[in-house]
Amino acid sequence: MTDRKNIPLVVTRPSDQASELLSSLSVLDNDVRHHPLIDIRGFRDDGTPESSAVKQRILDIDGYHSVIAISQNAAEAGLAWLDDYWPQHPVGITWYAVGPTTAEVLRGAGLPVEMPAERFDSEGVLALDGLQAAVIEGEKILIWRGVGGRETLASVLRQRGARVDYAELYERRQIDYSGADWDAALEDGPLLLLSSGQALDIAMEQVADLPQRVAGILVPSTRVADQARARGFREVLVAASARNEDTLHSLRAWLAAADR
């Protein structure tokens, strides 16, 4: 068996979200590299069409029965907008988070949050009792998210009779690397740590033979894991969520397996 303790670890999280994970990994014997694939840029209240649309959704938020934050970025950006226009958080809203990282941000602001118990994606949220057709028919639901992304959540909620709007709070811009940059990141066949399906798409777009150049891949959900396996990755680690502690737990278990 390959000595996993000598396998490099490549963290691909955005720069403003990677410091804690990189610090935790620094205690390991493995070579740790940071190779961010996405740059997160939040919209500011600057009069652009994008920011004006967000501002209107935030001003009207008390007209919604539920708000669903689909990511940590969405929760942080949405709360920042709320702080600008609502001296106190509006009442009567049911708050939902796709996963524990997102829920922690909302709870940190004092909001009661509902989230899936296991599956941390759109399908997991759609299985929650409070979002079934008998409950939400005729209700207004606001989804906090970035520009673009999957339409499954809104589509199914509309099929169940809800009126669904988006507050698109930020945009994700992929970072393009040269072949030489990738050669350096992938030297010695590392384990690649990805935090989303979009990160997987970006990596595969820039390195077509990526599955053959890495020892494995660590992803935050079964959905992304299925995508990775379909693209030819054989060693796919699935963390319980995108939280640092879940990423570290999965990684340490994989590294420890080399000693058995």
Q: Over the range 122-152, which residues count as b (16 or more CB within 10 Å of their CB) and which as e?
A: bbbbbebeebeeebbeebebbbbbbeebeee
CATH number of residue 113's parent domain? 3.40.50.10090
pLDDT of residue 29: 87
* Number of compact structural domains in the chain: 2
Same domain, 15 and 124: no
Residue type, 227: Q
Task: Domain of residue 29: give its range.
Answer: 4-37+177-259
- Residue-wise pLDDT for 103-113, tens only, equals 999 999 999 99
pLDDT of the chain, 260 residues: tens digit per residue: 456 778 999 999 998 889 999 999 999 889 999 999 999 999 988 889 889 999 999 999 999 999 999 999 999 999 999 999 999 999 999 999 999 989 999 999 999 999 999 888 899 999 999 999 999 999 999 999 999 888 999 999 999 999 999 999 999 999 999 999 999 999 999 999 998 888 999 999 999 999 999 999 999 888 899 999 999 999 999 998 888 999 999 999 998 886 55
Q: Per residue in 145-179, pLDDT tens? A: 999 888 999 999 999 999 999 999 999 999 999 99
Which of residues 169, 189, 223 is at a domain's end? 169
Q: How many CA atoms lie within 13 A of 92 on its CB side?
A: 7
